Amino acid sequence: SRISLSVSLLAPMIGLLIGGLLGCLAGFYRGPLESTIVAIMDIILAFPGLVLLLAVTFYLGANLQNLIFSLGFLTIPVFCRVARAKTLALSGLEFVQAARLTGAGNMTILFREIVPNVIVPVAIYGLIVVAFMIMAEGALSFLGLGISAPTPSWGGMIAEGKEVLDESPHVSMIPAAIMFMTVVSFNLIGDSLRSFFERSRRQI
C-alpha cells in the first residue's frame, strides 16, 4: 500500500504544481504565452505515454523515483487544461476587475485573486487523477514497467499471483480488491468535496 499510494499521490502533485501554474498563466495572460503553453501541452498529450515509460525504464531503470516523475510528467497537460479553463472563467468576474481598479498588478491579481480560486477545483480533480494513477501503477507493474521486485506494490502482487491463479486465486484477488476499494474511495471523496464546494458557492 505504501509504494502504490506513494506513486498515486506524488505523481499528481507534480502535475498539479507545474500544470496548474502553467494553466493559470495561460488563462490569465492569453496571447502568445497561451498559444505556446497550449501547443506544448498538446505535444505532451499526443506523445504515447507507454513509449515514454518504456524509454525511462530502459535507460534509467524501473524504480520508484523514475515512475513517479514519469507519471507526474504525463499528468501535467490535464491539470493545465483544468486550471486554464477555470482561470478563463474567473478573469472576467467582478472581483478581478475590482482588483485592477485598485491598481493591483498582474502578478498580484494572479496569485491573490485567481490562484486561490483555482486551486480548490484543480485539487478536487486531482483526486480523480489519484484514482487513475493507482490503476496505472498497477497496470505498469503487471506489465513489468513499474516497481521492480522485491519492492512490493499492488500491481506487482497481482502479477506474481497470476502464476498460481488456478491453485491460489487469493494471491491476486486480495490486492486487486484492495486496489478496487481504494480507487472507489478516492472517487467518492472527490465527488463529495465537489458537491460540498458547489453548495457552499451557491449559498454565498
Q: What is the pLDDT of residues 17-47, one digit of tens each?
A: 999 999 999 888 888 888 999 999 999 888 8
Mean pLDDT for the stretch of residues 67-89: 89
pLDDT in tens, 101-153: 887 778 888 888 888 888 888 888 888 888 888 888 777 777 777 666 677 77
More confident residue, 16 or 195: 16
Average pLDDT over residues 59-85: 85
Residue closest to 190 by CA, chosen among 69, 6, 11, 12: 12
User: At 77, is the pLDDT very low, low, confident or very high (cuts 50, 70, 90)?
Assistant: very high
pLDDT of the residue at 109:
83
Instruction: Answer for the pair 40, 102: CB distance below 8 angstroms, yes or no.
Output: no
What's the mean pLDDT in 180-186?
A: 88
CA 97 to chain centre: 31
Confidence of residue 91 (pLDDT cuts 50, 70, 90): confident
Please tell me the distance from the alpha carbon of residue 87 to that of residue 84, in angstroms, as a whole number: 5
Return the percentage of the chain with pLDDT > 70, whole number.
94
pTM here? 0.81
What are the angstrom distances between the C-alpha of 173 and each of 104, 132, 164?
Answer: 57, 19, 11
What pLDDT, on the 0 to 100 scale, is given for residue 149? 67
φ/ψ of 36, rounded to 5, equals: -65, -45
